Structures are given as structure tokens and as C-alpha cells.
Chains A and B, each alone.
Chain A
Amino acid sequence: MSMALSHAGGDVDLRELRAKRLTILLAVALVITCALSVLFGASGTSAIKVLGQWLRGEDITLVDRIVLLQVRIPRMVLGVLVGASLAVSGAVMQGLFRNPLADPGLVGVSAGASLGAIVAIVLGGFLPAAFAAMIGSWLVPAAAFLGGWGATMALYMVATRQGRTSIATMLLAGIALGALTGALSGIMIYRANDNQLRDLTFWGMGSLAGANWPKVITAAPLIVIALAVAPFLGRSLNALALGEAAAAHMGIPVQRMKSIAILTVAGATGAAVAVSGGIGFIGIVVPHLLRLAAGPDHRHLLVNAGLLGAIVLLLADMISRTIVAPAELPIGIVTAVIGGPVFLWVLLKQRGIIDL
């Protein structure tokens, strides 16, 4: 570290070093968290015991096998995907809007996805029986994804004139869209029967409890593409922090880059909301924590956000499924209970830094 300090512009080097170290640290932590999340759960099944049985060639009970292969492992994979996608989407949005409070929730992507899910829960019964049987439990996720995608496309069309996207218009249109989808959701809630209302409530609080391999396979392509694209936006988002004109002068294709960023967020958020419902605070808290720890450079922030988002969601999920076992808390409650105070602490700390 003293080596880095002795360089000219040592401050930047130090930050860079710190961010890279943080990446390695987070990657190791993620591997450990993944292992823990497979090892522990509500049922007595211990993955270590089962692994031992497997190595010794002993019989593994059907229930043990199902708990590991059909419940915990898909749930761990889905947790990683959703956590990473929420945090990366938040970080991209914050860079794009040059506003640390931006979040996919803010521009109506999550609202559109929620609306899709609500419509599917309430009106699903009106579908022709043959079609409903064919689509089965995919109906709600598919509708959520279409809702998120539709909202993003609508926003983009409203905010783009002659190939130029106005972020300010998009932000305002997002608020309008949020209000409209909120109202439409209200109409659906009014139409809902007692049982549908309870489903809506639980869906709104988010959960990984329904994790299974089909859901992983549905969500994975979109999320993996988005997560793979996001780090390439780092340099552009850094330039954008100086303003659109400045970024354009630096040779950044601002319009194209904005389109890519928006599509990335829509894909990742739509897929995440579709499979897990509404999980709040990760998109906003995780990038904030990382900026505090290693600075605002998006080249590192986007990668680290993916890692820390996955870790935080896996930990929240472990809490949600063990704290009231054998019952389970909706994970959105856990992230909000933890995220709310952490976010306040981050704000206070930032103020302290500014005041200094």
C-alpha cells in the first residue's frame, strides 16, 4: 500500500488497489456464503452428512436428496442471480441518472413488473383452461417480465425524440407510470377475492421460497446477459458523471450507451421481479456501501455490486428461512428491516464526510 502511495496520483492508485482487493474479498465471501446457504436450513438435513454418505457410497434418503437438489441448491443459485441483478441494476441506474437515489423502482420498471404479476394473479382464472394448464405456474413470472419490459419500452419511447433520450423526461415519465400502474394495481386489488388478496400480499413482500430449477432456467439467461454487459458500461458511466456533453467529447457514444444501460436494467430487473416478487433495498443500499468502501469508480463498482448483492440476498434468505422455522418470513421484510437502518446509517455517514 505504501508503494501505491509513493506514486504520483497515489490517491487514485490506492483506491484502485482497494477496489480490486475488495473484489477478491467479496468473491471469496460469496463462495463461503453459497456454501453456508446450501449447508443450513430449516430441515435437519445437513449437507455435510449427505456428502459423507455419498462419498462412502451409502444410501441417501429421498427427502435429503430433494432438500439438497430440489430446494437448497436451486434456491442458492436463484439468490445469487436475483441479488446480483438487483444490486447491479441499482448501480447502473444510479450512474445513468447521476443520482445516488435512483433505482429500478424509481423509473417504473419494478412497478410495471408488479402490475403484470398482479393482473396474472387476479385475472388468471379468466384464461381459457387449456392455455392456463399449458402455461401453469409460469403465468405470474411471465406476466411480471412482460410488465417490466413493457414499462421500460413505454418509458423509452416517451423519453426518446429523434434518437435522443432525455433522462429527465424519463424520470418524470417513470413517476407517472408508477402512479398509473399503482392505480391499475388498485383496480385489480379491488377485483381480487380474499385468497387472491393474500397471494398479492405475499407476492409483494418477495420471496425465494418458490425457487426451483425451472425458475432458475427462466431467469438465468436474461440476468446473466445483463450481468455480463454491465461491467462494460463502467468507463462510460464514469464519463457520464461529468455530464453528457463532456462524455460525448471523450468519445463515448452516449445515446447508444444509454440504450444499452436501459435494456440491461429492464432485462435484469424484469427477470428478478418475475421470479422473486418485490425485494427492496438491495438495489439502493449495496451500491452505496460500496461507494463508501472503495469510491465511485463504476469499473469496480458494477462488479463489486454484483458480488455484494448476491451475498446480501443469500444472507437475508438464510435469515428469512431459519428465524421462524419451520415457517418462513418473506425475504422483502428481512431486506427492508436490515436495509432501512443501514441506508439511514449510510446517509448519516455520508453527511458526516461532507461536513468534514
Chain B
Amino acid sequence: MKRVLLTSSLALALFASAASAQDRILSLGSSTTEILFAIGAGDKVVARDSTSTYPAEVESLPDIGYLRALSPEGVLSVNADMIIAEHDAGPVETIDVLKAASIPWISLPAGWSAEQIVANIRTVGEASHHVAEAEALATEVEAQLAAAATAAASVPATARKRVMFIISTQGGRVMAAGQNTGGDTIIGMAGAVNAIQGVDGYKPLTDEAIATAAPDVILMMDRGHDLDAANSDLFAIAPLAATPAGQNQAVIRMDGAYLLGFGPRAGAAALELHNTLYGGN
């Protein structure tokens, strides 16, 4: 990690001396892209990965494919002066080629904490020479994250709702978020408790595990259109229907990139989830 930071700051320093207004940036990862557009550096972005879908104007940029399966020639073909990437961009073979081609590579650590989200905004600001705008955004996001944290902390331990984040219900199998997931993190940031404890990652649940979890609320991604299971389909799964959430038909749906992006909108997303859960505003 230290080495990554060192190389990226070195690359940054080297690059800063030769910087011009014509920087061509390749943005890899949804939060990276969101930050670039939010600080007004969107016109420098020449290409993006397939996870970058917000704001809407990025859809017209060339898509170089999935973040973790980048092809070296595809990346080189967009002729970028600089690559700003989330931590899990890869594979290593591709990154080795890009290093050999001496394209500055700035790697952003995973933004699972408020501090990291804000730090990433500042890093992107420096790299793209939009320092002032990045500082303004960082302050704003910091305030939103702090507001969300205050709201979350105001919920007494006994009143915390148990939330189950369901990522899919294919074939009647409930796949839910355990620990070390974006779903778990955002539930905590909103002042609620993940109903699924003692499980690592996204896992299919047994009927008994669903009953034991006894969620008060189901949280799901809103993909729009007819892609999502309707409430009637969701609660056709018997053990789910028997939970408090099932009896109250308590389902919250939020846009996936907004809810789990952990970019500049993370504070707003956490606060919105908090307000939906506890009826505040």
C-alpha cells in the first residue's frame, strides 16, 4: 500500500511539471468518475470503465470494459495522459504494460470510510488540476457525511432498525449482504444494523437464516424498469414474508450506484437512507 501511494504520488509529481490544460484522463471506477465530473474536470475525461455510469453524460464516452478485466491495448488505444483508478483495477498483466508505457497511474484506495472518500476527492483534484473545486466539494461532502453520522448516532441502540440488504432473489434464493460489503457499510452509516451477522461477503441465505435475521426492513437496488423483483414476488418467498419486514411490506429501493458508489454522493445516500428508515428529513 505504501508503495502504491509512493508511486502514485511520484507519478503525480512527475506529471505536475509537464501538465497542460489538454490533460486526457482515463477514469476507472464509478466513484473516480463521479468525482471528476463533480469538480468540473469532466471535459478532460476521454474514456471510462463499464462501472462508470453517473452522471448521464459519461454514457457517451468510450467504455474500455470492466474494471477488473482491462485489456492493455484497449487502455492504450484511448491515448490518455493519465489514468485515475479505483483500487481494484486490474489485472496485473495490464497494469504492468501501462507502467511500461509510462502513463501516470493514480490509484485511489477503497473509499469505505468518510475520511477516505474525502481524501480521494482531494487526490483527484490535485491530479486533474482542479484543486479549488475539489476542496469545495471535499468540504461539502465532509459536511454531508458528518450530518449523516450525527443523524445515525442520534438513533438509540434499542431503536436501531434491522436491515437486510438483498442483492438478488434469483430462483427464490435470497442473496444478502454480510460483513465486508458495501451494503453492510451503508446500513451502518445510516444508523441501522445489518440483520445478517457472522457472514462474510454476499451469500445465499437458508430459510432458517432469513427467519433468524428477522429484518425490520428490506433494502434493495433499484435498477429501474422491470428488472427488479416486485414486492409481491419478493414476499412470495415464504420465510421472507414471515419476517417483520414482510408483514409490514417494508422495502426500500435505491439506485445502486448512488447507494453503493462511496463517491461524492455517499453522505447524501446515507442520510437519505437514514431519513427513509426513521422518517426524519
Q: Which residues of A contact B (CB under 8 A)?
A: 41-45, 62-63, 66-67, 70-72, 136-137, 190, 192-195, 198-199, 202, 207, 209-212, 215, 321, 324-328, 330
Contact = CB atoms under 8 A, between A and B. Distances in A.
Interface string B195-218: 000001111000000000000000
A316 B259 CA distance: 38
User: What 9 pairs between A and B have smallest CB-CB spacing?
Assistant: A327-B65, A43-B77, A326-B74, A328-B71, A210-B93, A193-B201, A42-B77, A209-B71, A326-B64
A62 B68 CA distance: 25
26 contacts: A43-B73, A62-B102, A66-B76, A67-B76, A70-B97, A71-B72, A190-B203, A192-B201, A193-B200, A193-B201, A194-B202, A195-B88, A198-B69, A199-B68, A202-B69, A207-B69, A209-B70, A209-B93, A212-B96, A212-B97, A321-B74, A326-B64, A326-B71, A326-B75, A326-B78, A327-B63
Nearest to B69: A202
B181 interface: yes
Contacts of B181: 194
Contacts of B79: 43-44, 63
Contacts of B100: 66, 70
B97 A66 contact: yes
Given A43-B73, A62-B101, A326-B77, A194 B68 contact: no
Given A210-B94, A324-B65, A72 B200 contact: no
Contacts of B75: 326
A195 B71 CA distance: 18
Contacts of B201: 192-194
Contacts of A207: 69
A185 to B, nearest CB: 16
B93 A137 contact: yes
Contact of A63 (B62, B69, B74, B101): B101
Contacts, number: 99
A43 B65 CA distance: 14
B74 A325 contact: yes
Contact of B68 (A137, A198, A324): A198
Contacts of B66: 198, 202, 327
A209 B69 contact: yes
Contacts of B72: 70-71, 209
Given A70-B100, A202-B66, A325-B77, A42 B203 contact: no
Nearest to A327: B65
B73 A67 contact: yes
Nearest to A210: B93
Nearest to B88: A195
B76 to A, nearest CB: 5
B248 interface: no
A212 B93 contact: yes
Contact of A327 (B50, B93, B94): B50
Nearest to B90: A199
A210 B91 contact: yes
Contact of A44 (B65, B69, B77, B180): B77
B146 interface: no
A77 to B, nearest CB: 15
B71 A321 contact: yes
A321 B73 contact: yes
Q: Which of B62, B74, B200, B202 has the most CB of A within 10 A?
A: B74
Nearest to B62: A326
Contacts of B152: none
A296 B47 CA distance: 50
B73 to A, nearest CB: 5
Nearest to B177: A194
A275 B90 CA distance: 16
Nearest to A209: B71
A209 B94 CA distance: 8
Contacts of A215: 93
Q: Which of B73, B75, B76 has the most CB of A within 10 A?
A: B73
Interface in B82-98: 88, 91-94, 96-97
A136 B64 CA distance: 25
A321 B202 CA distance: 32
Nearest to B65: A327
Interface in B189-246: 200-203
A170 B186 CA distance: 52
A195 B101 contact: no
Contacts of B71: 42, 209, 321, 326-328
B260 to A, nearest CB: 11
A193 B97 contact: no
A209 B73 CA distance: 9
